Amino acid sequence: MGREASLVILLALSAFRAGAQSGIHELYVDIAATGLLPVTWATDSPTLAHLGFDALLGLEYDLPISVPIRFEAGYLRASASRISPSGELYRGWEGLRLALLSGYNFEPSQLGALGNLYISILGGGAITAADYTDTALAYAYPSIILEPRLYLSLRSAQYRMMVQGPSLAAPIELMFRAGTRTLAPALSFGWRYRLGAAL
């Protein structure tokens, strides 16, 4: 009976190992610059627009089941809002932002010798440690993110594989800032590098 149990366990582990090696896990790093058009509102206060930008570094691990897991670290800055007709405005702010996203990578479109075009959609959350511009008033706020994205993996003549390429994303972030809400649609341009693959 002991031998039969050992054989079953050995076969199960072998099948698990074979399944784990059936796909390629890709690891990427990217840099991006993002232009923001935040809109802020609060109870009994006007809805006013800002301008902003975000510079970020991303690290992404793509599973063979087309599910990416993405970590971002960046610096965000937004200007003071426009002034309302009654003379009100919202202060500008800046801070360090950390985000964790996941989603789905659709099947790539092949562009011949140039490479592959990928489309994906991501969602997740972020936490930002911020302060109001030109003040010592610091605070932190959470946010939720939805991000459609496309990127081009260029084929390298030297390595005969897709190693890098440009990316374009249109994230929308809802920020739960101190006493206010900010919805920030954005447009992000970046460059993505393939660090490697592992079975």
Tokens for 145? 């993110």
Number of domains in the chain: 1
- pLDDT at 155 > cutoff 80: no
Q: In this predicted structure, what is the pLDDT of residue 178?
A: 86
Q: Which of 61, 82, 88, 63 is nearest to 72 (CA)?
A: 61
Over residues 96-143, the pLDDT tens digits come to 999 999 999 998 888 887 888 999 999 999 999 999 998 889 999 999
| Mean pLDDT in residue range 157-185 | 86
In a domain? residue 108 = yes
76 within a domain of the structure (yes/no): yes
* Inside any domain, residue 189: yes
* Residue-range definition of the domain harbouring residue 189: 24-198
Question: What is the model's pTM?
Answer: 0.81
Mean pLDDT of 151-168: 76
| pLDDT at 114 (0 to 100) | 82
pLDDT at 82: 94
The answer as to whether 121 is a domain residue is: yes
pLDDT category of residue 8 using cuts at 50, 70 and 90: very low
Contact 38, 182 (CB under 8 A): yes
Query: Is residue 170 in a domain?
Result: yes
Residue 8 inside a domain? The answer is: no
pLDDT for 115: 84
Domain membership of residue 60 (yes or no) is: yes
The CATH number for 71's domain is 2.40.160.20
5 domain-assigned: no
Q: Find the mean pLDDT for residues 57-73.
A: 93
